[in-house]
Amino acid sequence: MYQILSKILFNKEVSPTYYNMGVDCPEIASRAAPGQFIMVRVSNQLDPLLRRPFVIHRIQRANTGSDSQVEILYKVVGKGTEIMSEMKECDEIDLLGPVGNGYRIDTNIRTAVLVGGGIGVAPLLSLAERIISQCSKLKSLILLLGGKGRDDVLCVEEFERLGVEVRVATEDGRLGHRGLVVDLLLDYLESRDYSPGSSTHCFACGPDSMLKEVSKIIAEKGISCQISLESRMACALGACLGCIVRTKSGGDVYKKVCKDGPVFDSNEIIWE
Amino acid sequence: MNHEPVELSVNIGGIQLKNPVMTASGTFGYGEEYAPYVGLDKLGAIVVKGISLKPRTGNPPPRIVETTGGMLNSIGLENIGVDRFIGEKLPYLRDSGATIIVNIFGSSIEEYGDVANKLDDTHGISGLEINISCPNVKEGGIIFGSDSHMAFEVVSFVRQSTKLPLIVKLSPHVTDITEIARSVQDAGADAISLINTIRGMAIDIETKTPKLANITGGLSGPAIKPIALRMVWEVAKVTEIPVIGVGGIMNAYDALEFIIAGASAIQVGTANFINPKATVDILSGIEKYLGDHRIGDIKSLIGTLSCE
């Protein structure tokens, strides 16, 4: 893990209140894996005080062949992200990362189902890129994407450019299916276009309510599923003990989202 | 500008520290977590996460929330227990060459004594810090720290259970901090550290629920520094034993304020979360200040506050 001051390459609004920031940080980019995150210090003032965790959206390769930049896709939700959204190209930003364990990719995957809710789509783009480049037996890669409204459905074009089949649900019905992304998952699993067994894997990121539902549905089908959790945290070093989650293998002891996660097997989590 | 080397060592109730910069318990794990960023042997001392006789699960999430210029936590003293600490965490820390102070707590006076006794026989520990001030657990913690008779009892008992130097960490939740400081001094404490966090809360106005599962939590960070500084100043004036300043120290200037107010050493807490190198940055800032002001020995700066 590195603590470095990085130069911002771009910081653009991709949809109302959603931004994508690219930062030049070879140290982090060359070691980052899909699902890992970065702690961002948005200001050197004392308020806001703590770093903010952001999952890595994309890991970009420079022409030289080494990873050199990462992208952070974020939604403006408070003081910290508001400050971030006002940052400009060439500004410096204080980063700590890459943090945590990313998604584990079994290279024998034939079918991969990605499930994203709102800003939870963020890690799935680099994941899709990694799956495509590493899984030679891959037959089908599908993204089920949900959002409150049209503006909350991000990155569809980027996924389609990779050849990913994208199905969309919005709660207001303005785009795709009217309803929740879990409806799409139920529908997908019921239709016969997935091959049951160990070669189908599911990867999900989104709000806890969505992950809880996805975990339940997946458990019934016996498909392996990895989910990426979000949590409040102060340090991301395993010291503050703020970002804990109860798991089945942990017994009485909580696990730490920063060190043991943020990606967990869905059947590991005991939902509060 | 080149400076003569400055003398930074201080003695805290029999514990010889290379310099006055320590870590605050609960903000530095068991040291290992920060080793990629900080030479653990470069600090005055590492105070580890509070240890109890048996492992503790701690409070349910959410445990942390940021507030203006500070953070609330309600970890609830989660820890692996004294036996696993000695077996799994201490060897690494000992090999790092760090000066190790173990923060301890119990749910009864006897339990404080038992933990102290186990650590007394363990090689590589320079001192104990007795936590009588955690605001986040019902039993133990603050019950002993808000009453000077209870504080006297627990410190006396631990005193009989160990030969190690004893630091007692005080709670700000008292009417007169000097009264409890005198009590623990009379009970045999070798040093006093203060302050622990201040109880606070935060509310989500949309859901009308507390932002912490525990409802209340301990406030730390720059927001509490003026309170900590005032209490350190009050205690340092009336006690014979060294005082360690804790509370919202974010940089060397903050640390120097505490030293001028009467602290012989300082502990860095919340700042570690934001800047993993905060302790070493603060140490070099103190060194620079001493050089710039031609102060050859940090000890000559302690308690130099002039109120004329």
Residue range B33-70, pLDDT digits in tens? 999 999 999 999 999 999 999 999 999 999 999 999 99
Q: Which domains does chain B have, with CATH numbers?
A: 10-58+77-199+222-300 (3.20.20.70)
On chain B, the residues whose CB falls within 8 A of the CB of A244 are 58, 61, 63, 78
Nearest neighbour of A237 by CB, restricted to B60, B70, B276 = B276
Instruction: Report phi then psi at A196, rounded to 5.
Output: -65, 160
- What's the gap in Å between the CA of B68 and the closest CA on chain A? 6
Are residues B191 and B38 in contact, defined by beta-carbon separation less than 8 angstroms? no
Tokens 């992200």 correspond to A81
Are residues B143 and B82 in contact, defined by beta-carbon separation less than 8 angstroms? no
On chain B, the residues whose CB falls within 8 A of the CB of A253 are 55, 57
Q: Taking CB atoms and an 8 Å limit, are B273 and A244 in contact across chains?
A: no
On chain A, the residues whose CB falls within 8 A of the CB of B37 are 3
On chain B, the residues whose CB falls within 8 A of the CB of A233 are 64
Q: A241 to chain B: nearest residue by CA?
A: B75
Q: Which domains does chain A have, with CATH numbers?
A: 2-99 (2.40.30.10), 111-228 (3.40.50.80)
- What's the gap in Å between the CA of A229 and the closest CA on chain B? 13
Q: Taking CB atoms and an 8 Å limit, are B71 and A50 in contact across chains?
A: yes
- What's the gap in Å between the CA of A249 and the closest CA on chain B? 14
pLDDT at A198 over 60: no
Q: Taking CB atoms and an 8 Å limit, are B61 and A234 in contact across chains?
A: no
DSSP output for A112-177: EEEEEEGGGGHHHHHHHHHHHHH-TT--EEEEEEEESSGGG---HHHHHHTT-EEEEEETTSSSSE
Per the annotation, the verdict on B307 as an active-site residue is no
pLDDT averaged over every residue in chain A: 92
Active-site residue, selected from the candidate residues B8, B15, B90, B134? B134
Residue type, A154: L
Q: Taking CB atoms and an 8 Å limit, are B34 and A234 in contact across chains?
A: no
3-state secondary structure of B11: strand
Q: Taking CB atoms and an 8 Å limit, are A242 and B73 in contact across chains?
A: yes
On chain A, the residues whose CB falls within 8 A of the CB of B26 are 240-241
Distance CA A205, CA A229 (A): 7
pLDDT at A251 over 80: no
Are residues A266 and A226 in contact, defined by beta-carbon separation less than 8 angstroms? yes
Q: Taking CB atoms and an 8 Å limit, are B274 and A49 in contact across chains?
A: yes
Q: Taking CB atoms and an 8 Å limit, are B57 and A231 in contact across chains?
A: no
Report residue A223's pLDDT band, with 50, 70 and 90 as the boundaries: confident
Chain centroid, CA A14 distance in Å: 17
**Tens-digit pLDDT profile for residues A86-145:** 999 999 999 999 999 999 999 989 899 999 999 999 999 999 999 999 999 898 999 999
- What's the gap in Å between the CA of B306 and the closest CA on chain A? 28
Query: What residues have CB less than 8 Å from B282, skipping those under 6 apart?
Result: B21, B249, B251, B252, B255, B266, B268, B271
Size of interface A-B (CB pairs under 8 A): 95
Mean pLDDT, rounded, for A168-179: 95
* pLDDT value at residue A191: 76
Q: A44 to chain B: nearest residue by CA?
A: B274
**Tens-digit pLDDT profile for residues A56-84:** 999 987 665 556 899 999 999 999 999 99
* pLDDT value at residue A192: 57
Query: Cα angle vertex A51, ends A242, B197, to 5°?
Result: 50
**Best of B40, B51, B65, B66 to mutate (most A CBs within 10 Å, chain A):** B66
- What's the gap in Å between the CA of A102 and the closest CA on chain B? 19
Query: What residues have CB less than 8 Å from B222, skipping those under 6 apart?
Result: A46, A49, B69, B70, B248, B250, B254, B270
Low-confidence ranges of chain B (pLDDT < 50): none
Chain A interface, Cβ < 8 Å to B: 1, 3, 41, 46-51, 96, 231-235, 237-245, 252-254, 272
pLDDT at A250 over 90: no
Nearest neighbour of B70 by CB, restricted to A49, A242, A272 = A49
On chain A, the residues whose CB falls within 8 A of the CB of B58 are 241, 244, 254
**Best of A49, A232, A257 to mutate (most B CBs within 10 Å, chain B):** A49
